Each structure stands twice: as C-alpha cells, then as structure tokens.
Amino acid sequence: MRRRRSVRRAGSASTATGLLLPWQRMTAASSDEYVFPVVASPDDIDELGHVSNVVYVRWVQDAARAHSEAVGWDRSAYVRAGAVFVVRRHEIDYLAPVFLGDRIEVRTHVAKFGAATCERRTRLVRSSDSVEVARSVTSWAFVATATQRPARIPQEIRDVFPAALPRVSP
C-alpha cells in the first residue's frame, strides 16, 4: 500500500487564523491522554509489508499497562489490592497502514467507569504526519484474584484515572 501524502499544517490559512482543520481536531492530544511512544520494528511487519493487526492490539495493551504504572498502579500495587484489570473486549478500527520504522504515539485515557468495569479509549497517531492510524475502545473488568469474580473498583484507582470529559469540537 502507498502512504498517504502529508497534509500541509504550519503556515496554512486555517492555522494562521486559529481555526482547526478536521484532522487537527481529531489528532490534537488532550490533557487527559497518556502518550506511549512505539516504533514499528521488523518483528511487527506482516506478509503485506506493514504492521500486523495483532501488533496494534499489543500496543493498545502495552499503553494501558504503562499508563497504569505511570500513575502508581504497577503489578505489585494490584497484587496488594487483590484484584487486577482484565480485558473483556477490544474494538479496533484500522484507519491507515503503519510501516517499518514509523514512530507511533499511542494516546490512551479512561473514558468512563462502572462499578467493576471501565472503558479505555486509545488513538494511535503517526508522529511524522499526525495521521490517526487506528483507534480502539477497550472494555476492562476489575477482577478479584482470589475468586476471579468482578470486584468494585476502589476510589484510589478512580482518583488516579479520572474519567475524561466528553470532547467537543469547535
């Protein structure tokens, strides 16, 4: 597949007037997003010459784990809490191919909480041209390790992963 050509950004009429183009609204990082950088490696490439769909799933999960660790909830913290998050469902839209060496920003945030569940939204954005290459919604369940049954998400976790406010485009 051919790469999309770059879209002119700096100095364009829309940026000079302060108006955002649709692609800028879509890819602008927001303050509630955790950014996890990755680079497409040779092991990530499939028979079609681009990053395998399975790799996107790994990147989404790796970003969620890194975000959790960054706010103080590493593996040992979950062991002490007696519960862990497990994936219930991944939903991914593949929007553009990623090639060997491409640098990707995996931007993730917790969108909402339930009693024992949360929804995490993730956007994968190519650094070189700010193109959103994929987006995902992942449903997570908080599960007690002793019983393997759903457990209420403690307030301490809710406090460090504030659910995002709805995004409104100008």
Q: Check which CATH number belongs to the domain holding 71 and give it.
A: 3.10.129.10
Query: 19 or 117, which is more confident?
Result: 117
Alpha carbons 59 and 82: distance in angstroms, whole number: 26
Coil/strand/helix, residue 139 = strand
User: What is the structure's pLDDT at 147?
Assistant: 98
CA torsion sign, 71 to 76 to 77 to 82?
Answer: positive
In a domain, 169, yes or no: no
In a domain, 117, yes or no: yes
Q: Which one-letter amino acid corresponds to residue 23? A: W
Query: 127 or 27, which is more confident?
Result: 127
User: What is the structure's pLDDT at 161?
Assistant: 86
Rounded mean pLDDT, 110-129: 97
Rounded mean pLDDT, 145-159: 96
Q: How many domains does the chain have?
A: 1
Alpha carbons 21 and 9: distance in angstroms, whole number: 9
User: What is the structure's pLDDT at 31?
Assistant: 63
Q: Over 80: is that where the pLDDT of 11 sits?
A: no
64 dihedral zone (left: phi>0; alpha: psi -120 to 50; beta): alpha
User: What is the structure's pLDDT at 19?
Assistant: 39
Q: Over 50: is that where the pLDDT of 167 sits?
A: no
This prediction's pTM? 0.78
In a domain, 1, yes or no: no
Range of the domain at 141: 31-160
In a domain, 10, yes or no: no
Question: Is residue 32 very low, low, confident or very high in pLDDT (cuts 50, 70, 90)?
Answer: confident
In a domain, 152, yes or no: yes
